[in-house]
Chain A
Amino acid sequence: MHTVTFRQARQFVPLAIPLGAAIGFDGVGTVLVLVVVVTLLSLATAALSWSRFSYVDGPGSVVVTRGLLARSVRTVPTDRVRGVEVEAPALHRLFGLVRVRIDAAAGAVAGDREELVVDGVTRAEGDRLRTAVLARGQAAVRADPEAPAAEPEEEIARFDPRWLRYAPLVGSYLAVPLAAVGALFRLADELPEGVRPAVDGPDLADVRVLAVAVVLGLLLLAVGSVAGAAVVNWRFRLVRRGGSLVAVRGLLTRRHTELEIDRIRGGTLSEGLGMRWVRAARTTALVTGLGQATRRGQLLPLGPEPEARALLHRLVDDPGPLLRHPPAARRRRIGRAITGGLLVTGAGALATWLLGWWWLLAAGVLLTVLGVPLGLGRYASLGHRAGPRSFTVRSGWLVREQAVLQRRAVVGWQVRQSLFQRRTGLATVVACVGAGSGGYAAVDMAADEVAAFTEAASGPWAAALRPPQR
């Protein structure tokens, strides 16, 4: 029985200060009292939940008991454990503690991933728990006695600081400085009048001032996104240790993610619009039982496209170059991309005729014209290919995602055909997979190629889809 050395209480102290500050500004005394009360309260709850929390990792399962009044006992059999993540947030690191997250296999019905969290154990205990749970889980599955005790590590990928220069073109990292600016504005709004610095708003009418402001803003955005990417991916390393892939990363919060190679069914290569300009990409592993926890599966958060692709093909065989979809698919993509513009144009024509509003018509025409390159771009993303042991599908324009999957990954096929697709001889084929988002689609492939593709990409059972010979 290990009781957690749960020093979470100390986390509450810095939290209490801004909380008190936000509640009362009418006197220093009030603030002090509030700080003391809140701190004491949070200390008390933390101490209570600490005393009521315990975990045991037995030979067959991990049991977590918790709860203040209502006791809850959670048991997870070790052979259902899909991965263990050890993370060390900044405050935890100050006290030499870590947080261990144990991912268990999700049920058949789409739902919440089951997760056990053991918070606030020492670093050594966290590592012990991780190896103990994973080793037993793997032993139960494979019963492999000749696995060496101290397994050698093989480095697969390492984050090159030069790759940080891609960050300003990646949507998720751009969001970091924007969120910071938003938080700053909220703070400034909440400050009382007297405290706010009296700065005259810059004269935005002046073109030079405006240009300088825009350039400064863009610079700040770029610097912020680079800083954000650096904090998250600091000293990222991906190593292979025995039957697992281990990813370590983070500056303030150090994360240690472990994935079982046996459970990897494939991977995705995603490239955003901006990333495609500079040929950058991100590789994510698709792991059964991990559900939508895509962050856990990230194998290369950001890097040059050839590097990301090479990593992906270490996970799954390269099925070969993508096959393009028929011209009817291009017409359909363009048609769909300009529909909105045409509707606005129609409404604009009506508005011009009835009310004399020409600007709606102009906007509609512009949208329609812009829809053509958009449709062409979306069509250019489409592709599929079945290789001897794996297959791939690709789609998406804003974020182009190529999924490469092993044949055994397929747990079902879904073939969809709308009225328009039926008339143009197209069909959308979704490979249902018990990992990642649950399904990866080959959009608008030629209808008469569907049966051959599904059979080549999965197995003889898919022959049930073969249409009767005419």
Chain B
Amino acid sequence: MAHDPAAALGPAVPVPVREPAWPLSRSAIGLWMTQGAISAVVWALLTVVFLSVVPASVGGPVPLLRWLVPVLVGVYAVVAIGIRPFVRYRVHRWEVTGEAVHALTGWLNRTWTLVPISRIQTVDVNRGVLQQVFGLASVAVLTASSQGTVHVPHLEADVAERVADDLARRAEAVRDEAT
């Protein structure tokens, strides 16, 4: 138990562990906005279909839904394009320290994952279609445990490549006997 007198003066919410230092690529915001826009367009099309197929004369909750659904879709579009990408950018962080890979995700429920380089088994680099458009790539660091996987989404492609190479090389050099 750390009896830190300064803790009483600090925020009422102690951070359990350190936050990783580095943010994702700023292009990730553009990618998330694009994803938000695509899903908003899909919802808008579905709404148009709904408005044109179901007339208000059906009765019941339909007249209410005819104006509620477009409003909800509009709110969703604003959140998905204008707010969520920026929140996501702020809550994802990562770092490669001298001995470990560290990542933080999640907004309300936060998850830190730390994997020592000596226990890395595989490093995967993935590039989706949209990621290629934005010049991004995701890195996944796998260990022998199904729960001990570090996912770092949306880094610049060359950064991801370099990190993966570097981690694989260092893991090879310091690998120990434990699986």
Q: Which residues does A use to contact B, with CB under 8 Å?
A: 105, 108-110, 263, 265, 288-289, 408-409, 411-419, 422-423, 425, 427, 430, 432-435, 438-439, 446-452, 454, 458-462, 464-470
CB-CB under 8 A for A288 and B178, given A447-B16, A448-B16: yes
Determine whether the beta carbon of B17 is less than 8 Å from that of A461.
Answer: no
Determine whether the beta carbon of A415 is less than 8 Å from that of B145.
Answer: no
Q: How far is the CA of A329 from the CA of B148 in the complex (A)?
A: 25
Determine whether the beta carbon of B144 is less than 8 Å from that of A288.
Answer: yes
Residue B108 interfacial (CB < 8 Å): yes
Residue B69 interfacial (CB < 8 Å): no
Q: How large is the interface on B (under 10, 10 to 19, 20 to 34, 35 or more residues)?
A: 35 or more
List 8 A-B pairs, minimum CB-CB distance, nearest first. A434-B144, A432-B148, A412-B148, A110-B146, A439-B147, A447-B16, A461-B99, A432-B145
Determine whether the beta carbon of B119 is less than 8 Å from that of A438.
Answer: no
CB-CB under 8 A for A412 and B15, given A108-B122, A265-B178, A464-B100: no
Residues on A with C-beta less than 8 A from B51 are none
Q: Can you pick out 5 interface pairs between chain A and chain B where the beta carbons lie within 8 Å of each other?
A: A105-B179, A415-B17, A423-B13, A466-B17, A470-B4
Residue B97 interfacial (CB < 8 Å): yes
Q: How far is the CA of A414 from the CA of B99 in the complex (A)?
A: 16
Determine whether the beta carbon of A461 is less than 8 Å from that of B14.
Answer: no
Determine whether the beta carbon of B7 is less than 8 Å from that of A413.
Answer: no
Determine whether the beta carbon of B148 is less than 8 Å from that of A411.
Answer: yes
Determine whether the beta carbon of B179 is less than 8 Å from that of A439.
Answer: no
Determine whether the beta carbon of A448 is less than 8 Å from that of B14.
Answer: yes
Residues on B with C-beta less than 8 A from A416 are 109-112
Query: Per a CB cutoff under 8 Å, which of A433, A464, A470 touches B97?
Result: A464
Query: Per a CB cutoff under 8 Å, which of A419, A432, A449, A462 touches B100?
Result: A462
B59 to chain A, nearest CB (A): 25
Determine whether the beta carbon of B148 is less than 8 Å from that of A414.
Answer: yes
Residues 1 to 44 of chain B near chain A (Cβ within 8 Å): 1-2, 4, 6-7, 10, 13-18
CB-CB under 8 A for A470 and B144, given A288-B178, A408-B178: no
Q: How far is the CA of A336 from the CA of B72 in the complex (A)?
A: 32
Query: Per a CB cutoff under 8 Å, which of B1, B142, B144 touches A448?
Result: B1
Instruction: Apart from A109-B146, A438-B147, A448-B2, list 17 A-B contacts with CB within 8 A.
Output: A265-B178, A288-B179, A289-B179, A412-B113, A412-B114, A412-B115, A412-B145, A415-B112, A415-B114, A416-B112, A447-B16, A450-B17, A461-B116, A461-B117, A462-B100, A464-B102, A466-B17
Find the residue from A110, A265, A289, A466 having the highest chain B CB count within 10 A. A110
Q: How far is the CA of A413 from the CA of B1 in the complex (A)?
A: 19
- Decide if the interface of chain B is mainly helix, strand, loop or mixed: loop
Determine whether the beta carbon of A448 is less than 8 Å from that of B114.
Answer: no
Residues on A with C-beta less than 8 A from B116 are 411-412, 458-459, 461-462
Residues on B with C-beta less than 8 A from A109 are 122, 142, 146
Determine whether the beta carbon of B148 is less than 8 Å from that of A464.
Answer: no
Q: How far is the CA of A7 from the CA of B148 in the complex (A)?
A: 45
Determine whether the beta carbon of A468 is less than 8 Å from that of B18.
Answer: yes
Q: How far is the CA of A110 from the CA of B146 in the complex (A)?
A: 5
In the complex, what residue of chain A is closest to B108 when comparing beta carbons?
Answer: A419
A70 to chain B, nearest CB (A): 30
B178 to chain A, nearest CB (A): 5
Residues on A with C-beta less than 8 A from B99 are 460-461, 464
Residue B131 interfacial (CB < 8 Å): no
Q: How far is the CA of A427 from the CA of B17 in the complex (A)?
A: 10
Query: Per a CB cutoff under 8 Å, which of B10, B13, B115 touches A411?
Result: B115
Residues on B with C-beta less than 8 A from A422 are 13, 110
Determine whether the beta carbon of A438 is less than 8 Å from that of B115.
Answer: no
